[in-house]
């Protein structure tokens, strides 16, 4: 993909999320508070997960020989951990502009890690789910400032998931796909399940789904989403990935979960890895 195409895609993603009629001034308001709180809850889950797994070159040396070198993998995973912290900071900054927004207090049940591959499977599942989560959340916010951050977070996690997925399975994108990148409503994300699209088993009930605008229901399809009128008899569930979707579901890990309590730490480790990780992905796209 050429640089101009990448720039045009990102501009289209951000622009489409904020095209609407607004009452000025268009600063984040109380109507955005629940959405920001939900985003913080799921983003902090990812940040805490990365910080809970100690990694080094020896840890990644168990990966198959055809993958990237342990040194490069270490740098990139540390970079992803740093990006997760930056995502928390971005959402906290947005929450600071909304007096009614409160930082969630969660007791996360983190997925277990038995080896390097299980770590990548867990990271992929959460990153890919957060990509679809923030795409969905862009349909719930009212202000352009909030919509911009939702779009930016979705793009961030989509890049991360594609990078991890490319080292786990030879074919990440399907020639017979009938769907754009999967997107999910908050109520779908809160459900427990295996694979991309489910985080309920990790959140332990600490997050609540925000209400859709105008008392309606957000329905996400393969290509577009609709805000249906109040009183529609659907539950507003999200898109369910299939074998033709943009993501695949890695093997489930069946050993017992770890438990982590607390907020994300501002871990500065791996900032160079974060830059390197993004640069590598962009290079792969050119």
The string of pLDDT tens digits covering residues 47-80 is 999 999 999 989 988 887 666 778 888 999 999 9
- CATH classification of the domain holding 190: 1.20.1260.10
> 21 or 282: which carries more pLDDT confidence?
21
Contact 129, 183 (CB under 8 A): no
Residue 89 domain-assigned (yes or no):
yes
Residue 20 domain-assigned (yes or no):
no
Residue 153 domain-assigned (yes or no):
yes
Residue 40 domain-assigned (yes or no):
yes
Alpha helices for the chain (secondary structure H):
3-18, 30-52, 57-60, 70-96, 116-137, 144-166, 186-189, 200-203, 271-285
Residue 82 domain-assigned (yes or no):
yes
Measuring CA to CA, which residue among 37, 72, 38, 68 is closest to residue 55? 72
Taking the C-alpha atoms of residue 18 and residue 31, their distance in angstroms, rounded to an integer, is: 15
Q: What φ, ψ does residue 219 adopt, rounded to 5°?
A: -115, 120
pLDDT, average across residues 209-221: 89
| DSSP label at residue 110 | E
State the pLDDT at residue 274: 36
Contact 236, 218 (CB under 8 A): yes
| Average confidence score pLDDT of the chain | 77
pLDDT band for position 253 (cuts 50, 70, 90): very low
Number of domains in the chain: 1
The string of DSSP codes covering 143-169 is SHHHHHHHHHHHHHHHHHHHHHHHTT-
Taking the C-alpha atoms of residue 251 and residue 267, their distance in angstroms, rounded to an integer, is: 30
Residue 3 domain-assigned (yes or no):
no
Residue 163 domain-assigned (yes or no):
yes
> 244 or 235: which carries more pLDDT confidence?
235
Q: Kindly report, residue by residue over 37-48, the tens digit of the pLDDT.
A: 999 999 999 999
159: domain range?
A: 29-285
Residue 21 domain-assigned (yes or no):
no
pTM here?
0.74
Taking the C-alpha atoms of residue 260 and residue 113, their distance in angstroms, rounded to an integer, is: 13
């Amino acid at each position: 993909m050429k640089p101009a195409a990448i720039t045009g895609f990102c501009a289209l993603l951000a622009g489409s999320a904020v095209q609407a009629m607004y009452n000025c001034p268009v600063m984040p308001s109380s109507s955005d508070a629940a959405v920001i709180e939900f985003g913080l809850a799921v983003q902090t889950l990812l940040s805490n997960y990365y910080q809970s797994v100690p990694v080094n070159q020896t840890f990644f040396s168990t990966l198959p020989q055809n993958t990237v070198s342990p040194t490069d993998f270490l740098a990139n995973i540390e970079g992803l951990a740093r990006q997760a912290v930056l995502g928390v900071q971005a959402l906290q900054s947005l929450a600071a502009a909304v007096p009614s927004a409160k930082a969630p207090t969660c007791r996360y049940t983190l997925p277990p890690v038995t080896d390097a591959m299980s770590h990548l499977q867990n990271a992929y599942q959460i990153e890919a789910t957060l990509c679809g989560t923030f795409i969905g959340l862009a349909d719930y916010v009212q202000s352009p400032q909030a919509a911009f951050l939702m779009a930016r977070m979705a793009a961030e996690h989509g890049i991360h998931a594609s990078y991890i997925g490319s080292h786990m399975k030879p074919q990440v994108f399907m020639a017979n796909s009938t769907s754009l990148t999967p997107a999910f409503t908050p109520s779908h994300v809160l459900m427990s399940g295996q694979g991309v699209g489910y985080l309920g088993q990790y959140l332990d009930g600490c997050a609540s789904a925000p209400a859709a605008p105008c008392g309606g229901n957000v329905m996400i399809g393969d290509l577009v989403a609709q805000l249906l009128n109040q009183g529609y008899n659907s539950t507003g569930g999200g898109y369910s990935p299939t074998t033709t979707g943009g993501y695949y579901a890695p093997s489930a890990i069946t050993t017992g979960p770890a438990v982590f309590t607390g907020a994300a730490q501002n871990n500065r480790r791996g900032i160079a890895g974060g830059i390197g990780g993004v640069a590598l992905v962009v290079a792969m796209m050119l």
